[in-house]
Amino acid sequence: MRILITGGCGYIGSHTILRLLEAGHDITVIDNLSNSLSESLLRVEKLTGREIAFVEGDIADRSCLEGIFDRDDIEAVIHFAGYKAVGESVDQPLRYYGNNVSGTLTLLETMDAYGIRNLVFSSSATVYGANPQMPLKEDFPLRATNPYGRTKQHIEEILVDLQAADSRWRIALLRYFNPVGAHPSGLIGEDPQGPPNNLFPFVTQVAVGRRDKVSVFGNDYPTADGTGVRDYIHVMDLAAGHAAALDYLSGHQGLHTWNLGTGRGYSVLEIIHAFEAASGTSVPYELVGRRPGDAPVSLADPSSAFRDLGWKASETLESMCADAWRWQQHNPDGYRAKALPA
């Protein structure tokens, strides 16, 4: 079937597209390139030998969506498009709500008008907020603590109402934990525009010499080494989770929510040391104060996804580090330099 991928040029989008092309699906991408480069799709085409239909455009542009739905026989949408930086969302909430929520509403209205009612939505563990109960289960209350997280929560709530109103909708809400790593080819990976907001790309950029040192925010948390513990998930596992969710929807009605995580946590220092071991580099770091809003620990209970989808993360911390390093080494400046591995 042909699937529309919004925000398909981004990190998770491009890896998911690769997985779906390998599974035999056809892919159309809409991306406004506000935070990504279409080079990622050329790399995926190179890796798969398949063509991707790419439309540079915005999901808030109804006529652009209509053009796609008129031309392509789209059966499902995987909706990645959205701003994703917590700090930026605190400073520019209107921009975040406008882009993420209003954009999604335009997408949903247009899908509905075309009778396309299969949707996989890119949500986030941030919707759980500061819940201290671990591991996090899908039926915990939602209480996002920043505007970015609230855009995800609002969209989830809209989708629940939409599916309750019209049972023809089949919807998967995927709550990602911390996606890291890259395709093992080193051809595609995470390419943040500007300073990375997340630990992993920061570590890889330090290792490759683009930055001096990693800032470690807080070492007085109630964890084994005092630094924050997160549930890191390899992006190829995440991509497989999307493919599994999409398959599930073709056989099941309703709205379904799944955590995509491993259930296993690593501290900031464990990540830094594992990355040093995998890369053979040294990663200088500096201990600085806690960041407001950071939880000590965040861990998924991934058992629902295993029960329903038979999906389970299979990659290791070593492969997360090795694959991230291969990508970063071969593409020290990301896609912009267009440096291909020999």
Binding site for a copy of itself (CB under 8 A): 90-94, 97-98, 101-102, 105-106, 108-109, 112, 147, 150, 154, 157-158, 161-162, 164-165
Residue 112 or 276: which CB sits closer to a copy of itself? Answer: 112
Q: Tokens for 218?
A: 């807080």
Residue 147 or 179: which CB sits closer to a copy of itself? Answer: 147
Other CB atoms within 10 Å distance of the CB of residue 276: 15
Residue 51 or 161: which CB sits closer to a copy of itself? Answer: 161
Q: How would you classify the pairing of strands 2-6 and 74-79?
A: parallel
Residue 100 or 279: which CB sits closer to a copy of itself? Answer: 100
Closest CA to 300 of 80, 156, 128, 146: 128
Closest CA to 233 of 282, 174, 286: 174
Helix axes 317-330, 268-279, angle to 10 degrees: 60
Residue 107 or 180: which CB sits closer to a copy of itself? Answer: 107
In angstroms, the Cα distances linking 223 to 51, 52, 190, 286, 316 are 47, 45, 28, 18, 21
What is the Cα–Cα distance from 25 to 1, expressed in whole angstroms?
Answer: 5
285 is catalytic: no
CB of 90 to a copy of itself, least distance (A): 6
| Residue linked to tokens 């890191």 | 232
CB 255 within 8 A of CB 163: yes
Residue 91 or 225: which CB sits closer to a copy of itself? Answer: 91
Of residues 148, 176, 232, 335, which has the active-site annotation? Answer: 148
What is the Cα–Cα distance from 17 to 30, expressed in whole angstroms?
Answer: 12
Rounded to a whole number of angstroms, the distance between the first and last alpha carbons of the chain is 34
DSSP-assigned states of every residue in 128-170: GTT--SSSB-TTSPP---SHHHHHHHHHHHHHHHHHHH-TT-E
What is the Cα–Cα distance from 318 to 313, expressed in whole angstroms?
Answer: 14
Other CB atoms within 10 Å distance of the CB of residue 288: 12
Active site residues: 148
